[in-house]
Amino acid sequence: MTTTTTLAGKTILMSGGSRGIGLAIAKRAAQDGANVAIIAKTDQAHPKLEGTVHTAADEIRASGAEAGAKALAIVGDVRDEASVQDAVSATVAEFGGIDIVVNNASAINLGGSAQIDMKRFDLMHDINTRGTFLFTRTALQYLRTSEDPRILTLSPPLNLSEKWLGAYPAYMLAKYGMTLATLGIGAETHIPATALWPRTTIQTAAVLNILGGEEVYRRSRTVELYSDAAHAVLTAPGDTVAGQALLCEDVLEAAGVTDFSQYSPGTDEVELHPDAFVD
């Protein structure tokens, strides 16, 4: 896989993106001169989490200032159909269309099957699986008119080994649902659709607060690993990435990256982990 174009002039609509991996992907796209609209619930600062949809838009603009990038902050909820429709309409009104949909919004709960509260189960499926389906399908009419439409979802390959299926079934159902929704819509519409996932843990709030605390966070790779891989996918020829669930490291290796130390925090060898959780 080789990078053939940039994202200059492309319009990206992303769910989430107020922090973490989503924000890193948005800022990387902005460096090319992309227009980025993000929809997130974080209108006001959270006591335990950095950033709001507004501060994220400021960061995106600053990151792409030299390239002429623009950003649009939209307060909304991917669970709500009217809210998603408003986000799509606002993006089209601001930028004239939509070229790329990025499904980044995700909820995580690692409760076991017998212990997890069904309200938390429903929340994950509403945001992850249903949100991905709703967000993508609402933008389809505009993706179809783009010269180079793409769908990118931050979700894992469909691995049916016991190690994966037995880890956290409630969560894995919701994440696999994101992948199935993405690849299914891509197959139906023939719009290049790709799922992308890391092989290792990434330095996100979810890793810090849920997965393993400061030690696992310290030994995880930086968000730039994900944003560089996403950029490589979104700028590759569509037919080379359509219908695939890819790992970030494989994408970067195919793009010519041989030294992954640039994505290491520089403290220890990065800890490999079977479950790489993201925001």
Catalytic residues: 171
How far from 268 is each of 8, 199, 212, 220, 277, CA to CA, in Å? 36, 17, 16, 9, 20
DSSP string, the chain: -------TT-EEEEE--SSHHHHHHHHHHHHHT-EEEEEES-SS--SSS---HHHHHHHHHHHTTTTT-EEEEEE--TT-HHHHHHHHHHHHHHHS--SEEEE---------TTTS-HHHHHHHHIIIIIHHHHHHHHHHHHHTTSSS-EEEEE------SHHHHTT-HHHHHHHHHHHHHHHHHHHHHT--EEEEE-SB-BSSHHIIIIISHHHHHHTSBPHHHHHHHHHHHHHS-HHHHTTEEEEHHHHHHHTT---GGGGS-SSSSPPB-S-----
Token digits for 256?
Answer: 């010519």
Task: Return the bridge partners of 244, or none.
Answer: 194
Largest alpha-carbon pair distance within the chain? 53
Cβ proximity of 175 and 106 under 8 Å: yes
